[in-house]
Amino acid sequence: MTNERISHEEARKTATELVNKMTIDEKIGQLEYDAKAISHLNIPEYNYWGEALHGVARAGTATVFPQSIGLAAMFDPEMLQQIGTTVSTEARAKHNEYSKLGDRDIYKGLTFWSPNVNIFRDPRWGRGHETYGEDPYLTATNGVAYIEGLQGHEKYLKLAACAKHFAVHSGPEGIRHGFNVDVAPKDLAETYLPAFKAAVQKGHVESVMAAYNAVDGVPAPTNSQLLEKTLREEWGFEGHVVSDYGAEEDVKQYHHYTKSDAETIALAIKAGCDLCAGHLVKYLRQALQEGLITEEAINGAVTRLLTTRVLLGLHATDNDYDEIGFENNDTTEHHQQALTAAYKSFVLLKNNGILPLSEDQLKSIAVIGPTADSTIILQGNYAGTASNNTTILAGIRQAAGEKIRVNYSEGCHLFKDRVEPLAKADDRESEALMMAQHSDVVVLCLGLDSTIEGEQGDAGNAYAAGDKSDLNLPGHQQHLLEEVLAVGKPVILLITAGSALTFNAQETNPALAAIMDVWYPGALGGRAVADVLFGKVSPSGKLPITFYQTTAELPDFTDYSMKNRTYRYMENQALYPFGYGLTYSKVALTNATIENFNKTLENTAVKVTVQNTGDFDIEEVVQVYVHADDSTDATPHAKLTAFQRVALAVGEQKTVTIPVPAYAFEVVNEQGETYSATGQFTFSIGVGQPDERTEYLTAVKPIQLTVTKTF
């Protein structure tokens, strides 16, 4: 297949020809997510709703990768792009086979409503684990990488990706259908929009999803300022816009912004929302009769939608992607990639030297906790059906073999006070203590899963999960933690969650020998955990979010101001900072310089030598933070502007050159205007952000360099 991508202009000509042959009813039938077939034009039915957050989701068997927040913790956009390529291959394989059987149901098309590039601004938000974390630069970089992997670079789009949810959307879930976000222009331009802009201008994303909430009083699906002026006119977006499911219904029902459904659907299409993920399209005839919309406006929306299908090669005879077969789905190679991603995603928060475990010094291990033998914690939400689920318990059993006895107890329920309904509270606690007492070391598996952390009211989520009220371990898990620690055996805490948690100061307990965040690690998560615990590989992930001490230091959940939120604006010291994560070794950074700093800002880079000074082969993430010291518009703390993952064997030394984008020198004023600042800039080069807590936890002092910019 040629590498030259068919242009939107060329595809639009073909789409226009098709639209010109349609009746008005046929056009209307194309504007709902389950578009109708038009037999005389040889257009089959097509369902636009697909999910591919971390693998092909809800369409049967597929490789299940770690949840998005774990993929963000890799700090490895190159790997994320490779994962996107794998996901698109599996999606094409499944679509091709389903189509042969005439199955064109939901989730089986080639338009996928992923990735979620919203900012994880508050740790209470249940859907935060669908995102790439709290930082605009990390989110934008990862979003572009995943989009490029999904869409490919050949003549036709491999898949059509979708950046969601546009815009300023990150909870609370319970009021999202009628919630209005009052957002300051600075916060909008500096924090909430950059990832979407990058998805459009760098990733060339084919679709954007309008959110449920309103922005400055205007519901997102009818917000022409966002959809037309910002998205299409300012950013040059050429694809189509889809509403979140039922978001257009919300405009009248919950936002009370319109008086009728006919007015809503007309206003949405005129504002730039082309595809209705809901059921308001049936009111378009009424809207036409009442003069609320013109057929020309309808033609524009239908043309944009058909253009996407042309770009996907759905009407072509020379599309090599049609040859991707059944055997390319759920392969051994893809499973290995998911395993590698899990290794890179795990964030080691504490280690007194107990890890990695020495097999020849162990006779028994206790595996305790409500998430230890859970397949749900492997999946996260918006997941496919795995053919190879390996729970943490199963992974440890496999690694332990017959030499090490594995003692297991559920310990407690995930969120209730007992496991058996007729038993007394804490009915599994004595068993857990028994296991701990008779073991050399305890692996304690605590946290959350998608039954209690996720999207509110999603019809595809049987558990109707939602937000958190605080950062505490749910149910009786905190009590179990404290009781197991009191036994006195060394405890390794594995956190399974998609967001920040706290442990009531137990993280400083000497008996708590190690803490590792494994997120929702994908189908092979249990095997990955065991491999890391026993030292087959070193953990190398970094936190894409802040672990706060408590929610008391945060603004109200409904307040979208960035004041005292995320590492760039927070005033208090973090429990575990953004960008933090240990490995099984130590590194030293030396000889840092800033290269090619000139007026173009095109080739600016940081050059630094990094050496593995410990006794374990590792991968480390070198991070560059920049602060505009003389600008009153700069964020209070230095912002992440570049990073690079580096593989280092024991004793190995490498000199790496890390490109620094012009973004490093940009600030945003109170009017929301982005500009390149002048004056002194401080560069901090290290293995985390340049704050006291990170330096204390890592024992690595960042190198700081300054430049003065006069242009």
pLDDT tens digits along 92-112: 999 999 999 999 999 999 999
Where does the pLDDT of residue 459 fall: very low under 50, low under 70, confident under 90, or very high at 90 and above?
very low
Q: In Å, how far from its chain's centre is CA 84? A: 13
Backbone angles phi, psi at 323, to 5 degrees: -90, -5
Q: How far apart are CA 378 and CA 385, in angstroms?
A: 11
Residue type at position 97: E
Average pLDDT over residues 589-607: 97
Is the domain spanning 8-323 CATH 3.20.20.300? The answer is yes
**Claim: this prediction has a pTM higher than 0.95:** yes
Q: Please state whether the peptide bond connecting residue 356 to the residue before it is cis, i.e. omega within 30 degrees of 0.
A: yes
pLDDT digits over 197-207, tens only? 999 999 999 99
- Summarize pLDDT for 513-538 with one digit per residue, the tens: 999 999 999 999 999 999 999 999 99
Q: How far apart are CA 20 and CA 14, in angstroms?
A: 10
Please give the pLDDT value at position 451.
87
Q: How many CB atoms lie within 10 A of CB 702?
A: 22
* Active-site choice (187, 244, 517, 691): 244
Instruction: Report pLDDT for 457.
Output: 60
What is 587-709's CATH number?
Answer: 2.60.40.10
Question: In angstroms, rounded to a whole number, what is the distance separating the alpha carbons of residues 271 and 250?
Answer: 16
Considering the chain, tell me which residue range(s) the CATH 2.60.40.10 domain(s) occupy.
587-709
**Distance between start and end Cα atoms, the chain:** 45
Helical H runs in 500-543?
525-533
What per-residue confidence (pLDDT) applies to 2?
A: 54
Extract the tokens encoding 68: 């998005």
The tokens of 94 are what? 């499944």
Q: Is 366 within 8 Å of 441 (Cβ atoms)?
A: yes
Provide the 8-state DSSP code for 585.
S
CB 312 within 8 A of CB 156: yes
Task: Please give the average per-residue pLDDT across 590-597, as a whole number.
Answer: 97
- Report whether pLDDT(212) > 60: yes
Q: What would the two tokens of residue 657 be?
A: 């050159």
| Residues 6 or more apart in contact with residue 551 via CB below 8 angstroms | 123, 124, 470, 471
Q: What is the pLDDT of residue 315?
A: 84
- Give the whole-angstrom CA distance, residue 202 versus residue 143: 10
DSSP state of 276: B
Evaluate if residue 464 carries a pLDDT over 70. Answer: no
Task: Give the integer Cα–Cα distance in Å for 215 and 183.
Answer: 7
Confidence of residue 466 (pLDDT cuts 50, 70, 90): confident
Mean pLDDT computed over 119-124: 97
- Record the tokens describing residue 519, joined without a space: 């997120």
Delimit the CATH 3.40.50.1700 region(s) of the chain: 332-545
In CATH, 332-545 is 3.40.50.1700: yes
Q: What is the dihedral of CA 350, 377, 172, 161, to 10 degrees?
A: 110
Distance between CA atoms of residues 652 and 38, nearest Å: 63
pLDDT at 413 over 50: yes
Q: What does the block give as tokens for 618?
A: 């590792």
Per-residue pLDDT for 462 more than 60?
no
Active site residue 244: yes
Contacts of 345 (CB under 8 A, 6+ apart): 66, 70, 71, 73, 74, 518, 519, 521, 541
Residue 330's region, left for phi above 0, alpha for psi from -120 to 50, else beta, is left
Phi-psi region of 380 (alpha: psi -120 to 50; beta: other; left: phi over 0): left
**From the centroid of its chain, how far is CA 53?**
8
Span(s) in the chain for CATH 3.20.20.300: 8-323
Q: pLDDT averaged over the chain?
A: 96
Tell me the sheet residues that pair with 495: 446, 517
Helix (H, G, I), strand (E, B) or coil at 49: coil
Find the mean pLDDT for residues 313-328: 95
The pLDDT assigned to 189 comes to 98
Q: Which helix (H) or strand (E) holds 71?
A: helix 68-73
Closest CA to 622 of 689, 538, 682, 546: 689
Q: How far apart are CA 493 and CA 582, in angstroms?
A: 15
Full DSSP string of 135-199? -HHHHHHHHHHHHHHHH-SSSS-SSB-EEEEESS----GGGTTT-EE---HHHIIIIISHHHHHH
